[in-house]
Amino acid sequence: MDVELPEINLKAIGAVRNEIKEPTHQDSSEVISEIVIDSGLTKALDDLDKFSHIIVLYWIHRSRRPAPMKVHPRGDPERALMGVFATRSPSRPNPIGKATVKLLERQGNILKVRGLDAIDGTPVLDIKPYIPGYDSVDDCRAPSWMVKK
Amino acid sequence: MDVELPEINLKAIGAVRNEIKEPTHQDSSEVISEIVIDSGLTKALDDLDKFSHIIVLYWIHRSRRPAPMKVHPRGDPERALMGVFATRSPSRPNPIGKATVKLLERQGNILKVRGLDAIDGTPVLDIKPYIPGYDSVDDCRAPSWMVKK
C-alpha cells in the first residue's frame, strides 16, 4: 500500500482493579471494577458524572501476539473462522479493547464501573462519555448470535 | 498512584482517505471516507461485511499536545470548561478517536464508510464490528445538548 503507517507511542492513563485475575470468555456485564486514573489527571475527570455510561479504551496486555488473521469467535472452535477485524477477539493487531460501561461512582481519581470486560491490572488508554445517537445506531445489521440481548 | 503505567507501542493498520484536509468541528455524519488497510492484513477483514456498521479507532495525529485538563466542548468558548475525559475533544492525553460508521462497501483491503470524523491521512489503529446491545445502551443519561438526534 502507498500510505505511511507510523509507529505510535502512548502511555497508560490508569489501570483496572477487579476480581478477574485471568483472561476469560465469561460474561462480564455484572462485574464491578475500579479504574484508578493517574492522580495527575484527576481534574480531567471533572463533569464525567454528568453521564450514566462511559466508554473505556484499554490495552489488552495479555493478548496473544502476534495476532492471527482469523479466529473462532468467542474462542469457540465450533464456530467458523472469521477475519479478526469482524470479531471482538482480544488477539488483534493492536490489542485495544473498547467497552461501554455504567459509571456507578467517581471519587477523585477513581471510577467505579459495572460491566468492564477487562482483567485486573489492565492498562487504561482513554475514557470518553457515551453519547447516545453518536455512539449508538438505531437501524443496524449484525449476525443474530452476536447481538447481546 | 501505586499502579504501574506502562508505555505502549503500536503500529497503524491503515489510513483514512477523504476530502477533509484540515481539522474541523463540522458535522461529519455524511462524509464518505475510504479506509485503506495494510494489504498484509486483508484477510483479517473477511466477514466484516456481515455488519452494517463498524467501530473505527484512529490516532488523532493533528491533536494539540500536551493535552489540556479542561476544554470548551466542541471548541465553543461560550460553553463552560469541562474535564477533557467528559468530552470528545481530540486533544486528550492519548488522542485516540472512536467513531461508529456505516460500512458501505468492502473491496479487498479498502473499506468505504460514511460518517467518519477523521481527516485525510489519519492513521487507523483498529476496526471492530458494531454489536447492538454490547456497544449501545438503551437507558442512559447525558447532557441533552450533547445527544445527537
Among A29, A85, A104, A113, which would you mutate to test the B interface (most chain B Cβ atoms within 10 Å of its Cβ)?
A: A85
Cβ atoms of A126 and B87 closer than 8 Å: no
pLDDT at residue A2 in the model:
54
3 state DSSP class of A56: strand
Give dist(CA B69, CA B82) in Å, integer: 8
Q: Which three cell numbers stand for residue B42?
A: 486483508
ipTM tops 0.85:
yes
Q: What share of chain A is helix, strand, coil (3-state, %, to 5)?
A: 15, 35, 55
Dump pLDDT digits (tens) for A43-87. Answer: 999 999 999 999 999 999 999 889 999 999 988 999 999 999 999
A98 touches chain B (CB under 8 A): yes
Task: Please name the residues in contact with A66: beta carbons below 8 A apart, sequence gap of 6 or more.
Answer: A93
pTM to 2 decimal places = 0.96
pLDDT in tens, A5-22: 888 989 999 999 999 999
Contact (CB<8Å) A125/B96: yes
Report CB contact under 8 Å: A148, B140: no
B86 contact residues in A (CB cutoff 8 A): 45-48, 50-51, 129
Per-residue pLDDT of chain B (149 residues; tens, 9 = 90+): 456 688 898 999 999 999 999 998 888 999 999 999 999 999 999 999 999 999 999 999 998 889 999 999 988 999 999 999 999 999 999 999 999 999 999 999 999 999 999 999 999 999 999 999 999 999 999 999 988 76
Q: CA end-to-end span of chain A, whole Å?
A: 40
Which of A53, A137, A140 is closest, CB to CB, to B137?
A53
Residue B47 and residue A13: Cβ atoms within 8 Å?
no
Cβ–Cβ gap A8/B9 under 8 Å: yes
Which residues on A lie below 8 Å from B104 (Cβ)?
A: none
Comparing CB atoms, the residue among B3, B57, B67 nearest residue A15 is: B3
Asked if B83 and A45 come within 8 Å (Cβ–Cβ), the reply is: yes
Give the pLDDT band of residue A3 (cuts 50, 70, 90): low
